[in-house]
Amino acid sequence: MTELNVLTIEGLWKGYRGRHVLKGIDLEVAPHEVVCLIGASGSGKSTLLRCVNLLEEVDDGTIHLEGAEITDPRVNADDVRKRLGIVFQAFNLFPHMSVLDNITLAPRQVHRVPRAQAERSARDLLERFGLGDRAGAYPDQLSGGQQQRVAIIRAVATQPKLLLLDEVTSALDPELVVEVLGVIKELKNAGMTMIMTTHEMSFCREIADTVCFLDNGVLIEKGPPAQIFTDPQEARTREFLRSVMESGRF
Amino acid sequence: MVSYVKSERQAEREKIRKSRTLRSASTATISTIIFLVLVVYVVTNAPGWQRVEETFFSWENFTKALPDVAEGFLINIKIFMIAEPLILIVGLLVALVRGLKSPVFFPLRALAIAYTDLFRGVPTLLLVLLIGFGLPALNLQGAPNDPVTLGIIALTLSYGAYVAEVFRSGIESVHPSQVAAARSLGLPYGKTMRFVVLPQAVRRVIPPLLNDFVALQKETSLVATIGVIEAVRQAQIHVAKTFNYTPYLVAALLFVLLTIPMARFTDYLAARSQRRRGA
């Protein structure tokens, strides 16, 4: 069963200074599946992504990537991260590099792709996501939406097996959210396996294969979006969705 | 198509701004002239001015000392030009070593900390004397005994410790999210430093680095104490012969002429980065 999954998380615990942020999370992600993590701020969504990326050390439990355990301390974290992509809420582009250099840094320095080839694929990706004319620009010359699209392109330029998206639209003005969501939709159509945390419920409903509701470090409920959004089984899920609805973000 | 026609109000505003600029420029000129006249008046009317003028501002002594002092000054420039790149290398290496996390590097890291603590603590003059006289006394095979080389070593060790701290503060000022972004792309620690952290850190510390180099330019004169006949020592020799202090003024003038362009360049860089941050 594990062999079939891109990612398998079993009994994952993580805490900071004695406070438990993740309390025994189990999650499986199949190839080409899009998993959306929803839940209030502080529910542990982002921490879960950071654990998968090995930016955080887990306290207990295991994470398997393509059948191999990555939470073993003997595993080389750099080798694991080569197969993963992550996009952050705050873009985190390298401000001293042009868009093209931001995208080609990892392919050239980590995956040993020759410069000409790396730049060609980067330009293809930029073209595909409507940024063909911004290859030479620097991050601070771009709008927030453009920066985030570049960050997504940077993450997929190394052809990761799994893409992690951490609140990628939360720092953007509403009219810029659309262009970033368009990119994610296109990646799904291309078959990218993704885990994303989001507050955009309607988008989540549209794109997710599986929605997971986290509350206080516990995975309360998991299911296809149609079921979670229309017929949630757990009281806390219902409560969360009601409060989101009332805030007008649905 | 909307075309722009300047309104009367705007034209008026621009006229007022222009006249105001003109007025502040002329005010600045006038007040500067008054200030200078006052200073000159006060100094030249001091009771001891006659003597000071003779001993410090003698044109005859000035022209006589200038060629020798200028020749000595070439040694200051040479020391400075050689020491500066060496200091950058030492400083950067020490800063990088201090950032290494692995326990394997503990001895190196401890050494780097001891180095910055020690060499920032010892007065540069003492360091020049200790190395200038101590190193040749060891009679080591291949150890330099040319005082200029020894002076360069001493200055490099002293300033390397300062510059290491400047680099370290620059490295620490790069936000951790930049490191997270690089590491998450699979870049190992070394490449993260080389491609992501250092380029940003170095840009930020250029103004304080140049400040340290302005200080270094002056302190090259400390090598006079171990027998190098540079600008200050040349001036001293002239003073000893004539009991006229004008040669000191010559040396001071040369140092100022060298440091002013550097200081203006530092200001320019600081202003530029300020503008960029504001943009």
Q: Which residues of A touch B178 (CB under 8 A)?
A: 92, 94
Q: H or E segment at A229?
A: helix A225-230
Q: Which residues of B touch A88 (CB under 8 A)?
A: 177, 180-181
- Residue of chain B whose alpha carbon sits nearest to that of A81: B186
Neighbour-count burial of A115, counting CB atoms closer than 10 A to its CB (0-12 exposed, 13-18 middle, 19+ buried):
exposed
pLDDT digits over B198-209, tens only?
999 988 898 889
The CA distance from A16 to B89, in Å, is 39
How many angstroms separate the CA of residue A82 from the nearest CA in chain B? Answer: 5
Residue with tokens 């893409």: A163
Report the predicted TM-score, pTM, of the whole model to 2 decimal places: 0.82
pLDDT of residue B267: 81
- The reply to whether residue B178 touches residue A94, judged by beta carbons under 8 angstroms, is yes
Comparing CB atoms, the residue among B178, B182, B185 nearest residue A158 is B185
- Residue of chain A whose alpha carbon sits nearest to that of B201: A96
Q: How do A162-166 and A84-87 pair as beta strands?
A: parallel
- The reply to whether residue B182 touches residue A109, judged by beta carbons under 8 angstroms, is no
pLDDT of residue B277: 54
With b for 16 or more beta-carbon neighbours within 10 A and e for fewer, the A195-217 pattern comes to bbbbbbbebbbebbbbbbbbbeb
pLDDT of residue A250: 60
Residues of A within an 8 Å Cβ radius of B: 53, 55, 77-79, 81-82, 84-86, 88, 90, 92-96, 105-106, 109-111, 140, 154-155, 158
User: Is some CB atom of chain A closer than 8 A to the CB atom of B272?
Assistant: no
How many angstroms separate the CA of residue B197 from the nearest CA in chain A? Answer: 9
Q: Which residues of A touch B195 (CB under 8 A)?
A: 94, 105, 109
Q: Which of B60, B70, B76, B101 is nearest to B190 (CA)?
A: B101
Which one of A51, A82, A102, A110 makes the best mutation probe of the B interface by having the most chain B beta carbons within 10 Å?
A110
How many angstroms separate the CA of residue B173 from the nearest CA in chain A? Answer: 14
Which of the following CATH numbers is that of domain A2-246: 3.30.530.20, 3.40.50.300, 3.40.190.10, 2.170.190.11? Answer: 3.40.50.300
Hey, what amino acid is at B4?
Answer: Y
Are the CB atoms for A189 and A196 separated by under 8 Å? no
H-assigned helices in chain B: 8-44, 49-56, 59-99, 106-121, 124-137, 147-173, 176-184, 189-192, 198-219, 231-242, 246-278
Among the ranges given (B86-100, B123-137, B260-274), the one the predictor scored with the smallest mean pLDDT: B260-274
Who wins on pLDDT, A173 or B275?
Answer: A173
How many angstroms separate the CA of residue A91 from the nearest CA in chain B? Answer: 9
- The reply to whether residue A92 touches residue B177, judged by beta carbons under 8 angstroms, is yes
3-state secondary structure of A220: strand
Q: Which of A103, A96, A98, A136 is nearest to A119 (CA)?
A: A103
Neighbour-count burial of A37, counting CB atoms closer than 10 A to its CB (0-12 exposed, 13-18 middle, 19+ buried):
buried
User: Is some CB atom of chain A closer than 8 A to the CB atom of B263?
Assistant: no
How many angstroms separate the CA of residue B72 from the nearest CA in chain A? Answer: 42
- Residue of chain A whose alpha carbon sits nearest to that of B277: A140
- The reply to whether residue A110 touches residue B200, judged by beta carbons under 8 angstroms, is no
Neighbour-count burial of A182, counting CB atoms closer than 10 A to its CB (0-12 exposed, 13-18 middle, 19+ buried):
middle
Residue with tokens 């000022």: B173
Phi-psi region of A100 (alpha: psi -120 to 50; beta: other; left: phi over 0): alpha
Comparing CB atoms, the residue among B183, B187, B200 nearest residue A96 is B200
- The reply to whether residue B186 touches residue A81, judged by beta carbons under 8 angstroms, is yes
Q: What's the start-to-end Cα distance of chain A, in Å?
A: 35
For chain B, list the domains and their CATH numbers: 65-278 (1.10.3720.10)
Q: Kindly give the confidence (pLDDT) of every residue in chain A, 250 residues in length, as a single tens digit, with 9 standing for 90 and above.
A: 445 799 999 999 999 888 899 999 999 999 999 999 999 888 889 999 999 999 889 999 999 999 899 999 899 999 999 999 999 999 999 999 999 999 999 999 999 999 999 999 999 999 999 899 999 999 999 999 999 999 999 999 999 999 999 998 888 888 888 888 989 999 999 999 999 998 888 889 889 999 999 999 999 999 999 999 988 989 999 999 988 888 766 6
